[in-house]
Amino acid sequence: MARRYDPERRQRIIDAAIRVAGKSGIAGLSHRTVAAEADVPLGSTTYHFASLDELLVAALRQANEGFAAMVRKSGALVDPDADLAEELARLMGEWLAGERTGVELEYELYLAALRRPALRPVAAEWCQELAEILARRTDPVTARALVALMDGICLQVLLTDARYEAEFAREMLARVIARG
């Protein structure tokens, strides 16, 4: 039997893993559930991802792209006269107001690194990438502090079902930027 060439299969498996984790959490993720969601043979998932951690790393890398891409595309990073705190607060608000399952999943995958050491480098990459983007407008230490503050605000909103307060976020971000 000839093997069918399917160049998008790996990506379909990653997308399926994100959908499964979005519906059932990381606890519901297995090679079997992902294969069923991707409509591929079980062997395909293990061929492309030898372990569940490898699959989670790929899913986390893809999920992490959301907020960082928004920040990268933002004009505030290019325009030195733009209010960086205002722009970051706006972007966080847009991101948190978006499709909630995706935002929650991104943080679930990010926090999974606490128990899954294989995910830690990916979580660290995300923080580092975002800090490097922000360092274009600040210094590296302030950029790291901004990433930590944005993470904290987003986590509080997600964990407490609190309403995102853009003015509070803008004020706190401005304070960090001013002291940088």
Nearest to 111, CA basis, from 50, 26, 24, 20: 26
Tokens (6 digits) for 101 = 């399952």
State the alpha helices, DSSP H only, in the chain: 9-24, 31-38, 42-48, 52-73, 84-97, 100-112, 120-134, 140-160, 166-179
Confidence of residue 55 (pLDDT cuts 50, 70, 90): very high
Reported confidence tier of residue 3, pLDDT bands at 50, 70, 90? low
Q: What digits encode the pLDDT tens for the residues 75-85?
A: 767 788 889 99
Structure-token pair, residue 64: 């992490």
* DSSP symbol at 25: -
pLDDT tens profile 130-163: 899 899 999 999 999 999 999 999 999 999 988 9
Tell me: pLDDT of 66 over 80. no
Distances (CA, A) of 28 to 50, 52, 108, 122, 127: 18, 11, 12, 21, 26
Contact criterion met (CB below 8 Å) for 166 and 89: yes
Report yes or no on whether pTM surpasses 0.85: no
Burial of 107 (0-12, 13-18, 19+ CB in 10 A): middle
The pLDDT tens digits of the residues spanning 92-112 come to 999 899 777 778 887 887 788
Percentage, residues of the chain above pLDDT 90: 54
Q: What is the pLDDT of residue 72?
A: 81
How distant, in Å, are the alpha carbons of 4, 91, 122, 162, 173 from that of 166?
51, 9, 28, 12, 10
